[in-house]
């Protein structure tokens, strides 16, 4: 693990709400500030699907990671990894194989600082502060390039992050660049907020709310979501609501969770 840097909350903008910390709030974490909690509470008022949806997304991430591990994957590139609350990628992976390598990448300084702090005794995990919209920079950063062996299959995770990437940044092309970098036999896991709210006004309201945070978000249609994945072959059951992606037997989605996120796991050949 990289050396823990000194960081000081005084250096950080904690007045402007931030998506990583709002998501931490939805998941029940404690790495958030008053501004994040206020914005998150407003979002929950607009759509009560926010909290169960975030948790369903996190559960999808965990199932996708387990699927990849079962398929023999032992290295993960987690783009937009967020704050490592319970059940993060390395925890799932290391419960199965402690030698699994995980390269976390996030743009948000607090998410990165907490990740470093919480994982300082784990040499198989790195965290890099970087903008995933610049694949070449991410791929050559030491936290990624020195940890992962791209001649072996890997899983590229872009979970609950692509809605922060505007069309002007060509998110599909960006994913192509990551997929081109990894060996055949790799996987690409993606999820994205849906536009399936009960009224279009609520979609616009959430867009407006996130515009006032450090991470403007956009809703995409199902067709736009599948365009991001391109023509890659999908693992069954394909692109579906996150709750419907290979649910653990006997589990029932929490009320409001189902329509919040789309998800898919693709083969990279």
Ligand X SMILES: C[S@@+](CC[C@H](N)C(=O)[O-])C[C@H]1O[C@@H](n2cnc3c(N)ncnc32)[C@H](O)[C@@H]1O
Q: Which residues bind ligand X (CB under 6 A)?
A: 19-20, 23, 57-58, 61, 80-82, 105-108, 111, 131-133, 159-161, 164, 215
Cα 206 to Cα 140: distance, rounded to the nearest angstrom? 35
Nearest to 122 by CA among 141, 92, 94, 158: 94
| Rounded to 5°, angle at Cα 15 from 10 and 17 | 125
Per the rule left: phi > 0, alpha: psi between -120 and 50, beta: everything else, 247 is beta
Q: In the complex with ligand X, which residue's Cβ is closer, 187 or 269?
A: 187
Cα separation of the two ends of the chain: 30
Q: In the complex with ligand X, which residue's Cβ is closer, 106 or 235?
A: 106
* Residue 158 CB, nearest approach to ligand X (Å): 8
Q: In the complex with ligand X, which residue's Cβ is closer, 41 or 231?
A: 41
* Residue 151 CB, nearest approach to ligand X (Å): 25
* Residue 1 CB, nearest approach to ligand X (Å): 18
Q: In the complex with ligand X, which residue's Cβ is closer, 62 or 205?
A: 62
* Residue 64 CB, nearest approach to ligand X (Å): 10
Q: In the complex with ligand X, which residue's Cβ is closer, 85 or 238?
A: 85
* Residue 219 CB, nearest approach to ligand X (Å): 14
Go through 146-156 and write b for each residue having 16 or more CB atoms within 10 A of its CB, e for each that does not. Answer: ebbebeebbbb
The alpha carbon torsion through 141, 2, 123, 148 (nearest 10 deg) reads 0
Nearest to 261 by CA among 82, 79, 24, 54: 54
Q: In the complex with ligand X, which residue's Cβ is closer, 114 or 232?
A: 114
| Phi, psi angle pair for 75, to nearest 5° | -145, 135
* Residue 165 CB, nearest approach to ligand X (Å): 6
């Amino acid at each position: 693990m990289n050396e823990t840097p000194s960081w000081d909350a005084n250096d950080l903008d904690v007045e402007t709400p931030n998506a990583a910390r709002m998501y931490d709030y939805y998941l029940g974490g404690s790495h958030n500030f008053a501004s994040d909690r206020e914005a998150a509470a407003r979002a929950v008022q607009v759509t009560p699907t926010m909290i169960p949806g975030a948790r369903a997304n996190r559960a999808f991430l965990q199932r996708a990671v387990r699927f990849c591990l079962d398929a023999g994957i032992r290295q993960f590139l987690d783009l937009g990894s967020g704050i490592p609350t319970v059940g993060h990628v390395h925890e799932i992976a290391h419960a199965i194989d402690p030698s699994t390598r995980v390269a976390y990448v996030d743009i948000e300084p607090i998410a990165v600082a907490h990740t470093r702090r919480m994982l300082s005794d784990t040499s198989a995990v790195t965290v890099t502060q970087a903008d995933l919209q610049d694949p070449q920079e991410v791929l050559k950063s030491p936290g990624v390039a020195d940890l992962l062996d791209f001649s072996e299959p890997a899983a590229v995770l872009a979970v609950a992050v692509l809605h922060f990437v505007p069309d002007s940044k060509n998110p599909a092309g960006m994913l192509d660049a990551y997929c081109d970098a990894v060996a055949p036999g790799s996987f690409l896991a993606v999820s994205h907020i849906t536009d399936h709210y009960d009224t279009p006004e609520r979609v616009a309201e959430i867009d407006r709310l996130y515009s006032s945070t450090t991470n403007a978000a956009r809703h995409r249609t199902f067709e736009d979501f599948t365009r991001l994945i391109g023509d890659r072959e999908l693992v069954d059951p394909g692109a579906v609501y996150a709750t419907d992606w290979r649910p653990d037997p006997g589990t029932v989605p929490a009320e409001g969770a189902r329509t919040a996120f789309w998800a898919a796991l693709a083969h990279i050949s």
